[in-house]
Amino acid sequence: MNDSAEALEINGVRIEPTFAEAFDMKATRLVITASDAEWAEQAARAISGFGTSVIDCKLEIDLEQRLTAAETPDGRPGVSVLAFAMSADELQKQIVRRAGQCVLTCPTTALFGGLDPAVCPKRLALGKSLRYFGDGHQISKLFGGRRYWRIPVMDGEFICEHEVPRTDGIGGGNFLLIARDLESASRAARAAVSAIEPLADVVLPFPGGVTRSGSKIGSKYKSLVASTNDAFCPTLRGVTPSRLGAADNAVLEIVLDGLSEAAIAHAMRQGISAACVCCGGRGLHAVTAGNYGGKLGRHHFHLSELMS
């Protein structure tokens, strides 16, 4: 699992000579607009709910960026969200369900594709499916070469693009922050998240951008495809083979999904740097990454290369 290179140190924090292993996914960007920024954000938060891991949620989705009126298709404030699934069919199914329940329902919102159709020619049906809520009263409009649906609702009309572009994405970029205690790990994780959140083309799908329940493939229970990453559980030192030292008492993980290797690599670099600058000498001992010996995914983000 380890690189052959020697470990680096940044501000006294050891950067382990290993790599994060990520895998191919299907992805799309949606743009949600509304009469004001608050409604747009409420819809984005709703559509992103229960969207942390494809292991059980089937979709990984989170708010990407907040957009000004000058940056949206209809000249209103908005937000973009990125969504990732293991197949195009699953992405299609989950996006339509969530859009219907979480954006169509939110006052004043409209919904558009956020990827360039000239670059991403493959499509997901959106308004094409949601239009039926209009019960025959929906109206189709062609504008600028793109088709939209006007669906009557109780506050006026819900505007939704007929189809939205999809593309290939990458899921499972990650790094683990190993610290002396939970306070130090939390402080480092929050610094990393704050550095990554403003970046385009990546999202952090777990709560607050952080997960404590890092997993490994498989389980002693046949019904589970993943289970607790016991090598990094401080309470299991001496019970199972541990990757933690005697002074390592808390580990938190940052998981990233992105539209490209470059986007994930840049985000990991920014997040790790921020954590080390914030917490080097203040309880953060090391940064490592989760992988399965290269067997899970073809995208390998070597920490020594990223940070050197």
Q: What is the per-residue pLDDT across 175-205, written as a single tens digit (0 to 9) for each?
A: 999 999 999 999 999 999 999 999 999 999 9
Burial class of residue 222 (count of CB atoms within 10 Å of its CB; 0-12, 13-18, 19+):
exposed
pLDDT at 4: 46
Extract the residue ranges of the chain whose pLDDT is less than 70.
1-6
Q: What is the per-residue pLDDT across 134-188, written as a single tens digit (0 to 9) for each?
A: 999 999 999 999 999 999 999 999 999 999 999 999 999 999 999 999 999 999 9
pLDDT at 292: 85
The set of residues, in sequence order, having a beta carbon less than 8 Å from that of 282 and lying 6+ positions away, is 184, 187
pLDDT at 257: 98
Secondary structure class of 292 (helix, strand, coil): coil
Q: Are 191 and 174 in contact (CB under 8 A)?
A: no
Domains recognised in the chain with CATH numbers: 8-18+169-307 (3.30.70.520), 26-165 (3.30.70.520)
Find how far residue 79's CA is from the centre of its chain. 15
